[in-house]
Amino acid sequence: MVAYIDVAVFAIAAVLFVLVTWGMSSLLRPHNPYPQKLAVYECGAPPVGEAQTRFHIRYYIFALVFVIFDVETIFLYPWGVVFESLGWFALAEMAIFIFVLVVGLLYAWKRRVLQWV
């Protein structure tokens, strides 16, 4: 339990730091909103139309597939750094891992998720 006291002290200090700086900034900052200041800024051009537009679900799925494969390939780097000390078992595990990634990629390709438009 003694080790948790250090963690609790740091957690309390972090929360207090955030609350104190947030409170101080709200007390010290100037607050004078006016309509032009509150307007949406779009590179100097006056805003036209709705701020929230609908996008096709295909863009979100494409982004999610990219993030999934990008995060999964991050796991290859630490494995490659210590490859020589891991042996053949780790090579087999990585082959299975890459096989699962390839199956997922082929599935996404077959479902035509990777087509942008």
Query: Taking the C-alpha atoms of 101, 102, 104 and 109 in order, what is their torsion angle to the nearest 10 degrees?
Result: 140
Query: Taking the C-alpha atoms of 34, 38, 41 and 44 in order, what is their torsion angle to the nearest 10 degrees?
Result: -10
Q: Which two tokens stand for residue 77?
A: 């780097």
Give the model's confidence band at 42: pLDDT under 50 very low, under 70 low, under 90 confident, else very high: low
Mean pLDDT on 52-61: 80
Question: What pTM did the predictor assign?
Answer: 0.46
- Domain span at 29: 2-110
Q: What's the CATH code of the domain at 14?
A: 1.20.58
Structural domain contains residue 117 = no
Q: How far apart are CA 20 and CA 16, in angstroms?
A: 6
Structural domain contains residue 115 = no
- Tens of pLDDT, residue by residue over 67-97, are 888 888 888 888 888 888 888 888 898 899 8
**What's the number of domains the chain is made of?**
1
